Every structure is written in structure tokens, then in C-alpha cells.
Amino acid sequence: PQIREDIGVQFARERDNAIINGDTAADHQDADVSTTTDVRTAFDGLRKYGLARTTTSLATFNIANLRAMVSVMDRYAENEEDLFWLVGLKTRQAVKNLITNIFNAADYVKGVAVNNSRDLRVDDIPVVSTSRQRENVNASGVNELTTNGKGTVLLVNQKAFTVGIRHEMELELFRDPRV
């Protein structure tokens, strides 16, 4: 049972990796993806779509630039309940610091401040963090093996993407060759 669970967890992590970082182009957006068997070559992911559209520079990481990302989405941001921020683990901490700096001491007394990651929101849009979100990219949002000190923030409309499963994963732990 533990092996089956471990394989299932790893499968889910790699599926998430493909959803976030996928790129089917012969020259993958990230220089550290060099084989066609890499899971990130299965289909175009959220970063690929984000980089192909208008991007908002977060060189200055502040609330105004995050709000600018919402306005760039135009009609796709019409219903904020459908949106979520997708960030890496380091960027999650930067978001926490940003929110903490916005609220003053009186707001903490009222219980406005963030208490834990489950409650983390920017303008009432939830922040979801994952280790699969790249935090080793350049200012253009791609990994090019040399100047990769940046992270990425994606604002995702969850109703704009659908993930289907053609066939459930099956795991055979043992096969008796005599049968």
C-alpha cells in the first residue's frame, strides 16, 4: 500500500509540473528541459500560455502590480471567484510579507491579517503555492541556465482550463509469470 501511495503522489506531482510548466515546442521555453520524455513536454502549460500573452513585470513586487495582473486579464477576471494566484514556495513568503506590510497594527487586532497559508489571499483571490512553480527563471520568465534568480506568479482562471483523464492509472505490484 505504501509503494502504491508513493507512486500515486509522484504521479500527481509530475502531472502538476506538466500543467504548470508544459511546452510542446521543439525548443522548450526552459533550457533545462532537453529530452522529449520529460513530462514538461506533454502539452502546453499555464506558464507557456501566460508568457504568450501580455505579462506584468513584478520587478517591483507590490500590490499595485499584482492588481495590474487582474486588469490585464480583462474579461477572464470578470468573476474573481474563478481566479487564484499560483506561486512558488519562496514567492508565497514574499506575498505574506507584502500583505503584512499593507495592514497596520489596528488591522491585526481586528483579525484582518493572514494567519496561515490556507487563508492567504490577495484582494480576496486565494494564493496557491506549489514546489512545481518555477523560482529559478530569468526576468523573462524562462530558465536559461545562467541568470535564474527570479520567481513567477501566475493568475489563473480555473474555469478557463480543463484537465481530463483518458484512462485511470493502474499499478501492478506483482505479476506471477506462471499465470
Tell me the per-residue pLDDT of 79-132, one tens digit each, with 9 for 90 and over: 999 999 999 888 888 888 887 766 554 444 444 444 444 578 888 899 988 888
- For residue 61, the Cα-to-chain-centroid distance in whole angstroms is 17
pTM, to two decimals? 0.75
* 3-state secondary structure labels for all residues of the chain: CHHHHHHHHHHHHHHHHHHHHCCCCCCCCCCCCCCCCCHHHCCCCHHHHHHHCCCCCCCCCCHHHHHHHHHHCHHHHCCHHHEEEEECHHHHHHHHHHHHHHCCHHHHHCCCCCCCHHHCEECCEEEEECCCCCCCECCCCCCCCCCCCECCEEEEEHHHCCCCCCCCCCCCCCCCCCC
Contact by Cβ (8 Å): 41, 28 = yes
Q: Quote the CA–CA distance of 90 and 135 in Å, as a whole number.
A: 8
Average pLDDT, the chain: 80
Q: Taking a C-beta distance cutoff of 8 angstroms, is the pair 122, 63 a contact?
A: yes
Residue type, 161: F
Give me 161's grid cell: 482550463
Q: Which secondary-structure segment (H or E) carries 87?
A: strand 83-87
Q: How far is C-alpha 7 from the geometric centre of its chain's CA atoms?
A: 22
What percent of the chain is predicted at pLDDT more than 70?
Answer: 87
Percent of the chain with pLDDT over 90: 8
**Largest distance between two CA atoms of the chain:** 73
DSSP 116: S
Place of cell 501566460: 50
pLDDT digits (tens, 9 = 90+) for 40-52: 888 888 888 888 8
- Please report the pLDDT score of residue 82 as a whole number: 93
